[in-house]
Each structure stands twice: as C-alpha cells, then as structure tokens.
C-alpha cells in the first residue's frame, strides 16, 4: 500500500495528547495502524508530550507506551484467555485492525443502508456526544458527499479511490483537510469507493444526509 495523504500535525498532536473525540480517534488509529510515517509521528508527539510532563511534574512517560498499546490492539484475544476461541476467519485486508473490531468483520459483511442513488452508508456506534463515525460506499463516477464545515473531519479511504483538487486518494490515504478547503471529490475507481468518515459533531452529518437526498427528494 502506498500512502500519499497523511494526518495533519495538529491532528497527530491532539491524538497523542488524548484530546481528540472518540470518533476521530478511531479514524486516526485506523490510519496509524497501516501508516509507518504517522505512527512514528504519533510516537514522537507522545515522547515530546512526555518530556514536557517530565519538566512540569517530574512525571516520566514510557516512550514504548504506544507500542504496548498497539500490541494490545493487535492481540485482543490474549487479554481474554477464558473466552472460547472464535472460529478463525481471514481478516479483510482492506480494514485496519482498530476498525475491524468495531465493524465486526470485513467490508463484504457490512449491512449497508441506502442513502441516495449510488451512495450507501453504515453508521458505527460511538459514545453519545463523542462525534460521528460512519462508512460510506460510493459508486464509480459519483461525487463523494461534501461534508460539513467547522470542526475536524477525517476521511480514510479503505477501498477504491477518488480525486479532487487536492489530489488522488486511494486505499490508506486520509483526507485531513482544513475546513475552508473547497473540494468536490469524485470516485474515479472502477469499483465502489469505501471510506471511513469521522466528524466531531453528529449534527453536521444531518446536514450531509440532507444535502445528499436533496436532489432526489427536494427536501
Ligand atoms: Zn500517514
């Protein structure tokens, strides 16, 4: 996988500092799990945060904390030795581990909900008030829904691709764009483009759905 679009420094810092909302954390963790560059950046940010804490409070943070946390994420079964082993199922290579646990399988098993012609959606439950997280599946040639404005929003491509004025986004790429950026992404892969979209505010997605449905229902 060759990744060309990465997380912003500000997003990395917020993630390392633990100030990102849950929905955004999932998208960051999913990208970090497959992107060595952003993983190193998170590690550096955590080390910098640890050094800062050390100065202020004489508290020492273990620089391996992320490695150990990631190891726990990768091996959840080890934490539950008493549970019966589930039947081995090949993991969908398109779904990073932190996301696979939340959707409970591969992309082919997702129970998609029709949103508009060529656009299907699956909402991933998060803690109420912790943002909005959903998968979007968009047919070739369709415009990727314009997302809300204001607040942070992350789009991680899992399958297929799209292009806009900021470039071409394929599997593993993350769009971590300024809220001011005007872009009109269009799916340019022969297959559906499936992406994970995390937003800070759940209400903004009502706006998205409204905008998606508007041309068809004039709501
Ligand atoms: Zn990255």
In the chain, where are the structural domains located? 9-217
Report the separation in Å between the CA atom of 15 and the middle of ligand 1, taken as the mean of its atom positions. Answer: 13
pLDDT at position 60: 46
Give the burial string for 137-161 (b: 16+ CB within 10 Å, else e): bbebebebbebbeeebbbbbbbbbb
- Long-range contacts from 124-130, C-beta under 8 angstroms, 24+ separation: 124/26, 126/22, 126/23, 126/26, 127/22, 129/202, 130/21, 130/22, 130/23
Report the pLDDT value the prediction gives residue 78, as an integer from 0 to 100.
47
- Least Cα distance to 31 among 9, 10, 3 occurs for 3
Query: Nearest 5 degrees, angle CA 194-CA 200-CA 201?
Result: 105
Its CATH class, for the domain covering 9-217, is mainly beta
* Residue predicted with more confidence, 208 or 90: 90
Between the CA of 64 and the centroid of ligand 1 the distance, in Å, is 19
Contact predicate 7/31, CB 8 Å: yes
The average confidence (pLDDT) of the chain is: 80
- Asked if 165 contacts 94 with a C-beta cutoff of 8 angstroms, the reply is no
Q: How confident is the model over 1-23, as pLDDT tens digits?
A: 789 999 999 999 999 999 999 99
- Gap from CA of 33 to ligand 1 centroid (Å): 9
Average pLDDT, integer, range 178-193 = 81
pLDDT of residue 193: 96
Report how far ligand 1's centroid is from the alpha carbon of 11 (Å).
11
pLDDT at 49: 78
- For CA atoms 28, 114, 189, 144, the dihedral sign is negative
Ligand 1 center from residue 126 Cα (angstroms)? 23
- For 26-56, write each residue's pLDDT tens digit: 999 999 999 999 999 999 999 887 776 666 6
Give 29 or 101, the one with higher predicted confidence: 29
């Amino acid at each position: 996988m060759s990744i060309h679009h990465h997380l912003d420094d500000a997003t990395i810092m917020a993630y390392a500092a633990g100030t990102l909302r849950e929905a955004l954390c999932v998208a960051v963790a999913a990208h970090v799990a497959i992107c060595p560059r952003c993983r190193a950046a998170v590690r550096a940010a955590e080390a910098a945060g640890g050094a800062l804490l050390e100065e202020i409070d004489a508290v020492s943070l273990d620089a391996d904390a992320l490695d150990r946390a990631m190891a726990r994420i990768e091996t959840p079964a080890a934490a539950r030795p008493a549970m019966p082993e589930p039947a081995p199922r090949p993991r969908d290579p398109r779904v990073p581990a932190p996301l696979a646990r939340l959707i409970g399988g591969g992309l082919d098993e997702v129970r998609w909900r029709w949103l508009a012609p060529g656009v299907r959606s699956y909402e991933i439950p998060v803690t109420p008030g912790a943002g909005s997280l959903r998968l979007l599946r968009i047919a070739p040639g369709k415009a990727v829904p314009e997302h809300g404005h204001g607040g942070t929003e992350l789009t991680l491509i899992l399958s297929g691709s799209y292009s806009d004025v900021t470039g071409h986004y394929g599997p593993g790429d993350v769009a971590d764009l300024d809220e001011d950026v005007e872009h009109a992404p269009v799916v340019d892969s022969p297959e559906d483009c499936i992406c994970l979209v995390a937003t800070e505010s759940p209400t903004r997605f009502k706006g998205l759905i409204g905008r998606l449905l508007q041309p068809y229902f004039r709501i």
